C-alpha cells in the first residue's frame, strides 16, 4: 500500500503497515540465511524439520491443549460461561492432531463435565447456567468429537428440540437464550445442532434460510444481522446454515466468492475478518471454511442426494458414492495461508496458536487455526492434499459445515437418524 | 465482600457441581466462588430484590460475559421498576460505564438494547450518544455499529447520520464499518447513485487502493446504468489494481472478452488471488 504518501492520516493504514512489517519478519523464505544458533534452536524445538522446512509443532500443541483440560487458572473466569466451548476447542484440536481417540479417560471426563452443563434439554455455559445456543452447539460438537454412544446419549433429543423451537424468533432468526440477542450465530448454532441430532423439522426450518440470506450485504459477505457490516465469523454462520438447509440459491455466491477472496491478506497470507481490518488466524477457518462451502454449493453438492465422500450435510444423505464432479476450484492461496499459520500463528517455542505475532496463545485460536490449516490442506476430498512445509504437517480433514472430522459427523448422523422422528 | 456475606446471611449458598474429575475446571478467586454460591441459591429461589441487583453487578465485574447473571439482573430491574421508574435511568448510567470497560462484550450490548427497548423512544438519543462515544475509542466496534443500526431502524433519527459518517470517513477513509453504515443510511434516505459514485471517487483521490470505497461505488454502479457509466469513465486509463478489478465488474456483461483479458492480467498483479482471477477469466470466456 503506497497511499500513505498522500499524507492523509489513517489509523487503518498505520496499523496495517505495522502488522505487515512484523509478520514479514516471521515469514522467512530461506531458513539457511538464519544464524546457525537460532536455526539449531528452531530445529530442536520442532519449528523446522531436518530439511529446514516449517513444521507443525504437534507435541507442543498437544501438551498445551492437555494442560487446559487438566485445569485453568483464575484468569479464565471470563470464560466461566463458556465451559463447553473450552472443551470443544481443546478436544477438536486434539482430534485434528490425532491425540484424542486413544484417550478413553479424557473422553469420559469430557462427557461428565458436559453432562454437568446440561440445562432445559440443551446446555448452558457451566453448571446451573441458563440454556444457551452457543454452548449447546459447542457441547454437541464436543460430543461429536468423542463419538461414542454414551456421548450421544448425553443428549435428551426431544427436550433439545423443544428448546431449539422455543428460541425461534418472529423474524425467523434464533435467540441465543431466553431474553437474549438474535443474530445469525443463533441461526447457525441452532441449525447445526438440529442437523446433527436429526430434528430439522419443517416447523423449525421454516423461513430460516431466508433470514440467513437477508444478512448478505452489498459487499458480498454477510453481517450478523441484516444491514450490518460483512464479517467472517457471521458469514461462515450464514453460508453453513444455507448449505445445511440446501438453500444457497437464495444468495449471490459470485459476490460472496469475490468478498472472501479479498479477505486473504497479500503480505501476511492469513485472512482478515472484515475489509480493512488486520489479519487474524481464527479466520483461517471462518473464511477458509466459507470459501470451501461456497465451492461445494457451486458444484451443486448440497443439491445432490450424494454429498462427497465423508462430507455429509444432514441425515438422509448418503456418502456411498463420490459424484463424478469437477474438482473444486479454489479461489484462495492455500500455501500462503498455511505459511501464515505455521510461521506467524504458532507460538515458538511454547506451542499453542495465536491471532497474530505479538498476541498470546489461547484455546480458541489454537482450535480455529488448526481447523483452518486442515481445511486449506484439503480443499476437496477428491483431490490430493496441499501441504506447505514439512509433509508431516498433514492433518486429517475437518467437515466444512460442522468443523468436526467427517467420519465423526457421519457417526453422529447415523446414530440420530436411527432414532424415530419426533 | 463482607457486606455481601452479611446481606445474604439468610441464604444457604449452593456450591458448583462440575461432576466427577471435571475437565477445564477454573481455579476461581475465592470471592467469585463465594458470590456464585449466593447466585446459584438465588437461581433456585427466584428472588428479585435490590440485594440481588447488587450481587449481579459484583459478579459482572468478575465476569462480564456471564449471561445468566445479566438475565437475572434484567428480571430484577423489570420487577423493581414497576414501583420506581428511576431504577431504569440509573441502569442506563451504570450499564454505560460497563460498556465503556467491556466494549467487545456481547452481553452488555444486548443489555443496553433490552434496556432501551424497555424505556422506549426517550432512550434512543442517549443510546446514539453512547454509541458515538464507543466509536470514538474504536471506530470499528462491531457491537456498537450493530446497535446503532438497530436504534435507527427502531426509533428513527437517520437525518443526523450523514454528518456522522462523513466525520468518521474524514478521520479514517479506510474505515469499512463507516462505509457500510453510510450505505445503509443512503438506502434509507434515498440518494442519486451518480452523485454517490462522484463523491466516492473524490475520496479515492487520496486513497487509490481503498477497497471499502471501491466496493461502495460498485454497489451503486450495479444498480444504476448512469452510475456505472460514470465509474467506467473514471476507470478507463486510471492507475492502480483496484480500478482494474472494478473494470472486470463493469465490463463483464457489455464486453466479456475484455473483462476476461483484464481478469487474466489481475492473476499476475494480484497474485494472492491468482486462482480467483483465473476462474473469473475462464468464466468470462477466452478474452483476447
User: Which residue has better confidence, A300 or A271?
Assistant: A271
Q: Is A258 on the interface with B (CB under 8 A)?
A: yes
Given a cut of 50, is residue A319 above it in pLDDT?
no
The CATH code that applies to domain A56-417 is: 1.50.10.20
User: Scanning every residue of chain A, which has its alpha carbon at the shortest distance from the alpha carbon of B178?
Assistant: A229
DSSP class per residue in chain B? -HHHHHHTTTS--------SS-SS-B---HHHHHHHHHHHHHHHHT--SHHHHHHHHHHHHH-TT-HHHHHHHHHHHHHHHTT-THHHHHHHHHHHHHHHH-TT-HHHHHHHHHHHHHH-GGGHHHHHHHHHHHHHH-TT-HHHHHHHHHHHHHH--GGGHHHHHHHHHHH-TT-HHHHHHHHHHHHHH---HHHHHHHHHHHHTT-TT-HHHHHHHHHHHHH-HHHHHHHHHHHTT--SHHHHHHHHHHHTTT-HHHHHHHHHHHHHHTGGGHHHHHHHHHHT----
User: Scanning every residue of chain B, which has its alpha carbon at the shortest distance from the alpha carbon of A130?
Assistant: B68
User: How confident is residue A318, by pLDDT bands cut at 50, 70 and 90?
Assistant: low
User: How confident is residue A326, by pLDDT bands cut at 50, 70 and 90?
Assistant: low
Q: A-chain residues within 8 Å CB-CB of B62?
A: 77
**Closest in B184, B208, B274 to A3, CB measured:** B208
pLDDT at position A296, please?
A: 84
CB atoms B273 and A333 under 8 Å: yes
Q: Check A355, A361, A364, A405 and give the catalytic one.
A: A355
**Closest in B62, B67, B145 to A228, CB measured:** B145
pLDDT at position A422, please?
A: 82
Whole-angstrom distance, CA of residue A53 vs CA of residue A76: 35
pLDDT at position A6, please?
A: 47
pLDDT at position B183, please?
A: 98
User: Which residue has better confidence, A422 or A141?
Assistant: A141
**Closest in A128, A183, A266 to B272, CB measured:** A266
Q: A-chain residues within 8 Å CB-CB of B35?
A: none
pLDDT at position A20, please?
A: 98
Q: Is A170 on the interface with B (CB under 8 A)?
A: no
pLDDT at position A8, please?
A: 64
Cell numbers representing residue B58 in the block: 459484583
Q: B-chain residues within 8 Å CB-CB of A329?
A: 275, 279
pLDDT in tens, A75-92: 999 999 999 999 999 999
Which residue reads 479514517 in cell numbers? Answer: B172
Given a cut of 80, is residue A315 above it in pLDDT?
no
pLDDT at position A329, please?
A: 75
pLDDT at position A321, please?
A: 40
User: Scanning every residue of chain B, which has its alpha carbon at the shortest distance from the alpha carbon of A87?
Assistant: B24
Q: A-chain residues within 8 Å CB-CB of B272?
A: 264-266, 269, 332-333, 336
pLDDT at position A348, please?
A: 97
Torsion angle defined by CA atoms of residues A370, A95, A76 and A231, in that order, rounded to the nearest 10 degrees: 40
Strands A118-119 and A122-123: what pairing?
A: antiparallel
pLDDT in tens, A185-216: 999 999 999 999 999 999 999 999 999 999 99
CB atoms A72 and B140 under 8 Å: no
Q: Is A270 on the interface with B (CB under 8 A)?
A: no
**Closest in A69, A112, A265 to B20, CB measured:** A112
CA of B137 to nearest chain A CA: how many angstroms apart?
A: 12
Q: B-chain residues within 8 Å CB-CB of A258?
A: 276
User: Scanning every residue of chain B, which has its alpha carbon at the shortest distance from the alpha carbon of A179?
Assistant: B71
User: Which residue has better confidence, A240 or A323?
Assistant: A240
pLDDT at position A316, please?
A: 65
Given a cut of 60, is residue A27 above it in pLDDT?
yes
Cα A124 to chain centroid, rounded: 21
Burial class, B155, CB count within 10 angstroms (exposed 0-12 / middle 13-18 / buried 19+): middle
Whole-angstrom distance, CA of residue A112 vs CA of residue A114: 5
Chain A and chain B share a number of CB contacts under 8 A equal to 208
User: Which residue has better confidence, B216 or A302?
Assistant: B216
CA of B16 to nearest chain A CA: how many angstroms apart?
A: 7
Cell numbers representing residue B182 in the block: 453510510
pLDDT in tens, A105-148: 999 999 999 999 999 999 999 999 999 999 999 999 999 999 99
- Structure ipTM: 0.96
Mean pLDDT by 10 residues, chain B (288 residues): 88 96 98 98 97 98 98 97 93 96 95 97 95 97 98 96 97 98 98 98 94 98 97 94 98 97 97 96 80
Q: A-chain residues within 8 Å CB-CB of B74?
A: 179
pLDDT at position A418, please?
A: 85
Among A312, A315, A302, CA closest to A422: A315
Domain ranges of chain A: 56-417
Q: What percent of chain A has pLDDT above 70?
A: 91
**Closest in B106, B174, B184 to A13, CB measured:** B174
Q: B-chain residues within 8 Å CB-CB of A286?
A: none
Q: A-chain residues within 8 Å CB-CB of B172?
A: 9-12
CB atoms B27 and A74 under 8 Å: yes
pLDDT in tens, B31-76: 999 999 999 999 999 999 999 999 999 999 999 999 999 999 999 9
Which of A71, A181, A340 best tests the B interface by mutation, with the highest count of B CBs <10 A? A181
* Three-state secondary structure readout of chain A: CCHHHHCCCCHHHHHHHHHHHHHHHHCCCCHHHCCHHHHHHHHHCCCECCCCCECCCHHHHHHHHHHHHHCECHHHHHHCCCHHHHHHHHHHHHHHCCCCCCCHHHHHHHHHHHHHCEECCEEECCCCCCECHHHHHHHHHHHHHHCCHHHHCCCCHHHHHHHHHHHECCCCCEECCCCCCEEHHHHHHHHHHHHHCCCCCHHHHCCHHHHHHCCECCCCCECCCCCCCCCHHHHHHHHHHHHHCCCHHHCCHHHHHHHHHHCECCCCCCEECCCCCCECCCHHHHHHHHHHHHHHHHHCHHHCCECCCCCCCCCCCECCCCCCCCCCCCCCCHHHHHHHHHHHHECCCCCCEECCCCCCECHHHHHHHHHHHHHHHCCCCCCCCCCCCCHHHCCCCCCCCCCCCHHHHHHHHHHHHCCCCC
CB atoms A116 and B17 under 8 Å: yes
Given a cut of 90, is residue A301 above it in pLDDT?
no
pLDDT at position A306, please?
A: 42
Which of A68, A124, A131, A179 best tests the B interface by mutation, with the highest count of B CBs <10 A? A179
Considering chain A, what is the average pLDDT of its residues?
A: 92
pLDDT in tens, A281-296: 999 999 999 999 998 8
Whole-angstrom distance, CA of residue A117 vs CA of residue A130: 9
CB atoms A265 and B114 under 8 Å: no
CB atoms B25 and A79 under 8 Å: no
User: Scanning every residue of chain B, which has its alpha carbon at the shortest distance from the alpha carbon of A68?
Assistant: B24
Among A232, B170, A75, B2, CA closest to A223: A232
Cell numbers representing residue B208 in the block: 487509490
A23 noted as active-site residue? no
Amino acid at each position: 500500500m503506497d497511499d500513505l504518501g498522500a499524507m492523509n492520516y489513517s489509523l487503518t493504514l498505520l496499523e496495517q503497515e505495522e502488522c505487515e512489517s512484523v509478520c514479514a519478519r516471521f515469514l522467512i523464505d530461506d531458513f539457511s540465511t538464519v544464524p546457525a544458533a537460532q536455526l539449531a534452536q528452531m530445529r530442536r524445538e520442532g519449528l523446522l524439520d531436518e530439511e529446514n522446512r516449517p513444521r507443525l509443532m504437534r507435541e507442543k500443541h498437544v501438551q498445551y491443549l492437555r494442560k487446559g483440560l487438566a485445569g485453568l487458572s483464575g484468569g479464565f473466569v471470563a470464560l466461566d460461561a463458556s465451559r463447553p466451548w473450552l472443551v470443544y476447542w481443546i478436544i477438536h484440536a486434539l482430534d485434528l492432531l490425532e491425540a484424542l481417540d486413544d484417550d478413553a479417560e479424557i473422553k469420559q471426563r469430557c462427557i461428565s463435565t458436559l453432562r454437568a452443563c446440561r440445562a432445559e434439554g440443551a446446555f448452558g455455559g457451566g453448571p446451573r447456567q441458563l440454556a444457551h445456543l452457543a454452548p449447546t452447539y459447542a457441547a454437541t460438537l464436543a460430543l461429536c468429537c468423542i463419538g461414542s454412544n454414551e456421548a450421544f446419549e448425553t443428549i435428551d433429543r426431544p427436550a433439545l428440540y423443544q428448546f431449539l423451537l422455543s428460541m425461534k424468533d418472529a423474524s425467523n432468526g434464533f435467540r441465543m437464550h431466553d431474553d437474549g440477542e438474535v443474530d445469525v450465530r443463533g441461526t447457525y448454532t441452532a441449525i447445526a445442532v438440529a442437523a446433527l441430532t436429526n430434528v430439522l423439522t419443517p416447523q423449525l426450518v421454516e423461513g430460516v434460510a431466508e433470514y440467513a440470506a437477508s444478512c448478505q450485504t452489498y459487499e458480498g459477505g454477510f453481517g450478523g444481522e441484516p444491514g450490518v457490516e460483512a464479517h467472517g465469523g457471521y458469514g461462515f454462520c450464514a453460508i453453513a446454515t444455507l448449505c445445511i438447509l440446501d438453500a444457497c440459491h437464495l444468495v449471490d455466491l459470485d459476490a460472496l466468492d469475490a468478498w472472501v477472496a479479498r479477505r486473504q491478506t497479500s503480505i501476511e497470507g492469513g485472512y482478515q475478518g472484515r475489509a480493512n481490518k488486520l489479519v487474524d488466524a481464527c479466520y483461517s477457518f471462518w473464511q477458509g471454511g466459507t470459501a470451501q462451502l461456497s465451492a461445494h454449493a457451486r458444484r451443486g453438492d448440497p443439491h445432490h442426494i450424494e454429498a462427497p465422500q465423508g462430507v455429509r450435510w444432514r441425515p438422509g444423505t448418503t456418502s456411498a458414492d463420490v459424484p463424478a464432479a469437477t474438482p473444486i476450484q479454489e479461489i484462495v492461496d492455500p500455501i500462503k495461508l498455511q505459511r501464515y499459520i505455521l510461521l506467524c500463528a504458532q507460538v515458538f517455542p511454547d506451542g499453542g496458536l495465536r491471532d497474530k505475532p505479538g498476541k498470546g496463545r489461547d484455546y480458541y485460536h489454537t482450535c480455529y487455526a488448526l481447523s483452518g490449516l486442515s481445511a486449506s490442506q484439503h480443499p476437496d476430498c477428491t483431490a490430493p492434499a496441499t501441504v506447505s512445509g514439512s509433509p508431516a504437517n498433514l492433518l486429517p480433514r475437518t467437515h466444512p459445515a460442522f468443523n468436526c472430522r467427517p467420519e465423526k459427523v457421519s457417526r453422529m448422523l447415523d446414530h440420530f437418524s436411527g432414532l424415530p422422528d419426533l | 465482600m463482607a457486606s455481601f456475606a452479611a446481606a445474604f446471611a439468610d441464604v444457604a449458598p449452593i456450591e458448583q457441581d462440575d461432576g466427577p474429575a471435571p475437565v477445564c475446571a477454573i481455579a476461581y478467586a475465592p470471592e467469585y466462588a463465594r458470590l456464585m454460591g449466593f447466585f446459584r441459591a438465588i437461581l433456585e429461589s427466584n428472588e428479585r430484590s435490590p440485594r440481588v441487583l447488587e450481587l449481579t453487578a459484583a459478579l459482572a465485574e468478575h465476569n462480564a460475559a456471564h449471561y445468566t447473571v445479566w438475565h437475572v439482573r434484567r428480571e430484577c430491574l423489570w420487577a423493581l421498576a414497576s414501583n420506581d421508574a428511576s431504577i431504569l435511568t440509573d441502569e442506563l448510567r451504570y450499564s454505560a460505564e460497563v460498556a465503556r470497560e467491556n466494549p467487545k462484550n456481547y452481553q452488555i450490548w444486548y443489555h443496553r438494547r433490552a434496556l432501551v427497548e424497555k424505556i422506549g423512544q426517550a432512550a434512543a438519543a442517549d443510546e446514539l450518544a453512547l454509541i458515538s462515544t464507543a466509536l470514538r475509542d474504536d471506530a470499528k466496534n462491531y457491537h456498537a455499529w450493530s446497535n446503532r443500526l438497530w436504534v435507527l431502524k427502531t426509533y428513527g433519527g437517520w437525518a443526523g447520520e450523514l454528518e456522522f459518517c462523513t466525520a468518521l470517513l474524514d478521520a479514517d477513509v479506510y474505515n469499512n464499518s463507516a462505509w457500510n453504515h453510510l450505505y445503509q443510511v443512503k438506502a434509507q434516505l434515498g440518494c442519486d447513485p451518480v452523485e454517490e459514485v462522484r463523491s466516492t471517487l473524490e475520496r479515492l483521490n487520496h486513497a487509490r487502493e481503498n477497497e471499502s470505497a471501491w466496493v461502495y461505488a460498485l454497489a451503486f454502479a450495479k444498480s444504476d446504468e448512469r452510475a456505472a457509466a460514470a465509474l467506467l469513465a473514471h476507470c478507463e486509463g486510471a492507475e492502480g489494481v483496484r480500478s482494474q478489478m472494478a473494470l472486470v465488474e463493469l465490463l463483464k456483461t457489455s464486453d466479456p472478452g475484455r473483462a476476461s483479458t483484464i481478469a487474466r492480467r489481475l492473476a499476475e498483479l494480484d497474485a494472492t488471488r491468482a486462482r480467483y482471477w483465473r476462474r473469473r477469466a475462464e468464466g468470462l470466456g477466452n478474452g483476447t
